[in-house]
Chains A and B, each alone.
Chain A
């Protein structure tokens, strides 16, 4: 079941420097929300507050109306799908054990986990034989898919993706983005995706949040954002648009 997120006046600072300032935000269930902005804008911090890898200095986060601070962190995080930046598969576990990590933490039996692994491999379109492979034998794109399968194995209502496309070649990147979009719809998820690349955000998301210096400076649909860009967003839009125009010119 997709999840509703409500951020209420979230503030957090590190070493005296504000990282997020007064974030007030409601994300209704079912959105594919892209969180973007320049490096150091606070994107990853907001993502990590969402599954309480970080606690805000003030303000609160409600998940389906309940204060996230009231639940022990590890337990909360097992209900939230998380794909770490750089994937971070456990290199000493097989692909299958990686995928079934959260169900295993929740105490699911071996047989149930084995069945689930095959199902998840189908879901991310990897051969079932991959279950017994070690992560070192995977390509970058394959590892990203396994990371996605691990995030989804416990059937979360919320999926958090931290720069899922970093370090992938454009073709693989596109395939993975298609897969995420499809899974988002098929699994009925609320998805929050951090990316520093506005092109990804513009072409995939239903809603785009732009952070600048810890403040939320834009919150709009892709179409609205392109039509009437906030000054801080203009620079972010300019370069992908420019790239796109040059490509179009080349094909003419």
Chain B
């Protein structure tokens, strides 16, 4: 059973997210319509152009929506840099704009196809008659072709609307508020109330929109104007509700822009973001949290000023922000990042928090003690008799190659699992060793031992609080966090939100963690 509190929290998030979701969907479909109408008119009677355009739109459609959204972010950053240089102002690269543009591209194909098929459905005899009685091209289009094609055109619009509302859940990954906020957070935290609420709300929006457009479509086809009008009125009411909610939620104009804390899409990030947000609030600042950011998006969002601060990990920054491929010792990695990030990206390291979230190999403590294994070097001597369970990613990662090089690990069997099943395989005795993240809450809860890495083969992933160029003053306010979060405390906090029973929200876990920091 899911506790009532979980449902309350999920439903509390709904109105705001629903309005934003519908808003970005409506804007995308509206823009797609503005583009599709002239393109369809130009395509009419030009079969080659029509084939080329529909193929191009079809190719766009094959790009997964998630990738399309992620692609728009760097694209807009480049555009923003360009406009900044040419016109002196940048365009926002995170949130509404990239989401709307990517969804617009996505909505184009059904609109173009509906328009083209609709116009092609008008019989040649009818067109000939229209020309022959003396209609101009414009009159023929307006009075004959469009009304006759309307049902098929609106059919395309229905498909576009339903797809867009579905795909808009992914806008969360580029920092746009949407019903995806509930779904992404819910999946990461295994909070099924959030997931179910988000999914049902998105499905309901899609179904209601589809029904309204269906009334318009069949109303026009049967020339029942009342029915078509009712459908149109329902749509208009939905858009009006969104506008009203937005107007209400809009911050007062005099207020300063709140500090935006970013978080990637997993539990530890949600907890740290809430911890930081509450620290800043205690200092009298207005703060919002933008969670669920794609891993690739977060650092760019910081340098572009779309978020003001977030926590990232040294190993990730080492390769992504500095472009390094080598492995350096933990301390020198941190030192290099402290000097290079400000120089190359105008990003300050406010604090190194004190724990790592690194790849490691783990065993059940009882097994490790029985076999006398404490380090990866110990493991290497016996690995040919042991079975390794990995997550789905690990075997293709650089870390695995580095481990094999440094220790000559040769396992009797290698099996890839989803994270939950991987733990079950280890506890159930189907595997002897598994891959783990060092701050994972399950390490303490399931009585696991992390094997040490004496050769330093695995890169370190120290959690670092980064401050972007927009609010350099924040570094001073948060530098007290330096070295204050021990890995054991982080594991416990993570466990509170990850576990299946007696689950806490990230806010509650953050409050608990703040208490632990204060005790120290």
Q: Do A and B bind each other?
A: yes
Chain A positions within 8 Å of B, measured between CB atoms, are: 51, 53, 73-78, 82, 84-92, 101-102, 105, 147, 150-151, 160
User: Are A74 and B136 closer than 8 Å at their CB atoms?
Assistant: yes
User: Are B133 and A78 closer than 8 Å at their CB atoms?
Assistant: yes
Contact (A85, B126) CB under 8 Å given A74-B134, A92-B223: no
Asked if B425 lies at the interface with its beta carbon under 8 angstroms from chain A, I say: no
Rounded to whole angstroms, the CA-CA distance of A151 and B144 in the bound complex is 17
Contact (A92, B133) CB under 8 Å given A84-B125, A105-B139: no
Asked if B446 lies at the interface with its beta carbon under 8 angstroms from chain A, I say: no
B147 contacts across to A, CB distance below 8 A: 92
A102 contacts across to B, CB distance below 8 A: 133-134
User: Are B134 and A86 closer than 8 Å at their CB atoms?
Assistant: no
Contact (A84, B134) CB under 8 Å given A90-B126, A91-B148: no
Asked if B131 lies at the interface with its beta carbon under 8 angstroms from chain A, I say: yes
B125 contacts across to A, CB distance below 8 A: 84-88
Q: Digit string of B116-138 for contact with A (CB within 8 Å is 1, else 0)?
A: 00000001111111111111100
- B506 smallest CB distance to A (angstroms): 57
Rounded to whole angstroms, the CA-CA distance of A86 and B157 in the bound complex is 32
Rounded to whole angstroms, the CA-CA distance of A151 and B134 in the bound complex is 11
User: Are A82 and B148 closer than 8 Å at their CB atoms?
Assistant: no
User: Are B148 and A101 closer than 8 Å at their CB atoms?
Assistant: no
User: Are A105 and B135 closer than 8 Å at their CB atoms?
Assistant: yes
A88 contacts across to B, CB distance below 8 A: 123, 125-130, 132
A150 contacts across to B, CB distance below 8 A: 129, 133
User: Are B144 and A90 closer than 8 Å at their CB atoms?
Assistant: yes
Question: In chain B, residues 120-178, which have Cβ atoms closer than 8 Å to a Cβ of chain A?
Answer: 123-136, 139, 143-144, 147-148
- A190 smallest CB distance to B (angstroms): 17
- B216 smallest CB distance to A (angstroms): 15
B143 contacts across to A, CB distance below 8 A: 90
Contact (A105, B129) CB under 8 Å given A91-B148, A92-B147: no
> Which of A73, A76, A78, A87 contacts B129 (CB under 8 A)?
A87
A74 contacts across to B, CB distance below 8 A: 134-136, 139
Q: Can you report 5 residue pairs joining A to B where beta carbons are below 8 Å apart?
A: A86-B125, A89-B126, A90-B143, A92-B223, A147-B129
A87 contacts across to B, CB distance below 8 A: 125, 129
Of A76, A77, A92, A147, most B-chain CB atoms within 10 Å: A92
- B131 smallest CB distance to A (angstroms): 6
Of A51, A73, A76, A84, most B-chain CB atoms within 10 Å: A84
B134 contacts across to A, CB distance below 8 A: 73-78, 102, 105
Tally of A-B residue pairs with Cβ under 8 A? 65
B139 contacts across to A, CB distance below 8 A: 74, 105
Number of B residues, CB within 8 Å of A: 20
Closest to A106 in B: B134
A77 contacts across to B, CB distance below 8 A: 131-134
User: Are B126 and A91 closer than 8 Å at their CB atoms?
Assistant: yes
- A245 smallest CB distance to B (angstroms): 36
User: Are B135 and A90 closer than 8 Å at their CB atoms?
Assistant: no
Rounded to whole angstroms, the CA-CA distance of A4 and B266 in the bound complex is 85
> Which of A85, A92, A105, A151 contacts B148 (CB under 8 A)?
A92
B148 contacts across to A, CB distance below 8 A: 90-92
Closest to A90 in B: B144
Of B125, B129, B131, B148, most A-chain CB atoms within 10 Å: B129
Q: Which 3 A-B pairs have the closest CB atoms?
A: A88-B129, A86-B125, A78-B134
Rounded to whole angstroms, the CA-CA distance of A79 and B148 in the bound complex is 26
A85 contacts across to B, CB distance below 8 A: 125, 128
Closest to A135 in B: B126
A84 contacts across to B, CB distance below 8 A: 125, 128-129, 132
Question: In chain B, residues 308-366, which have Cβ atoms closer than 8 Å to a Cβ of chain A?
Answer: none
Rounded to whole angstroms, the CA-CA distance of A65 and B136 in the bound complex is 25
Of A77, A87, A90, A151, most B-chain CB atoms within 10 Å: A90
Q: Digit string of B199-239 for contact with A (CB within 8 Å is 1, else 0)?
A: 00000000000000000000000010000000000000000
Q: Digit string of B487-515 for contact with A (CB within 8 Å is 1, else 0)?
A: 00000000000000000000000000000
- A160 smallest CB distance to B (angstroms): 8
User: Are A51 and B132 closer than 8 Å at their CB atoms?
Assistant: yes
Closest to B144 in A: A90
Closest to B127 in A: A88
Rounded to whole angstroms, the CA-CA distance of A53 and B129 in the bound complex is 11
B223 contacts across to A, CB distance below 8 A: 92
Rounded to whole angstroms, the CA-CA distance of A85 and B128 in the bound complex is 8
- A36 smallest CB distance to B (angstroms): 20
Question: In chain B, residues 263-309, which have Cβ atoms closer than 8 Å to a Cβ of chain A?
Answer: none
- B22 smallest CB distance to A (angstroms): 32
- A79 smallest CB distance to B (angstroms): 8
Rounded to whole angstroms, the CA-CA distance of A101 and B135 in the bound complex is 9
Closest to B131 in A: A53
User: Are A82 and B133 closer than 8 Å at their CB atoms?
Assistant: yes
- A80 smallest CB distance to B (angstroms): 8
Rounded to whole angstroms, the CA-CA distance of A77 and B131 in the bound complex is 8
A53-B131, A78-B134, A82-B129 known; 7 new pairs, CB 8 Å cut-off, are A53-B128, A84-B129, A85-B128, A86-B123, A88-B123, A88-B130, A101-B133
A151 contacts across to B, CB distance below 8 A: 133
Rounded to whole angstroms, the CA-CA distance of A51 and B133 in the bound complex is 10
User: Are B131 and A89 closer than 8 Å at their CB atoms?
Assistant: no
- A192 smallest CB distance to B (angstroms): 13
A73 contacts across to B, CB distance below 8 A: 134
A105 contacts across to B, CB distance below 8 A: 133-135, 139
- A86 smallest CB distance to B (angstroms): 3
- A149 smallest CB distance to B (angstroms): 12
- B132 smallest CB distance to A (angstroms): 4
Rounded to whole angstroms, the CA-CA distance of A85 and B136 in the bound complex is 19
B144 contacts across to A, CB distance below 8 A: 90
A89 contacts across to B, CB distance below 8 A: 126, 129
Closest to B128 in A: A84
A53 contacts across to B, CB distance below 8 A: 128, 131-132
Closest to A76 in B: B134
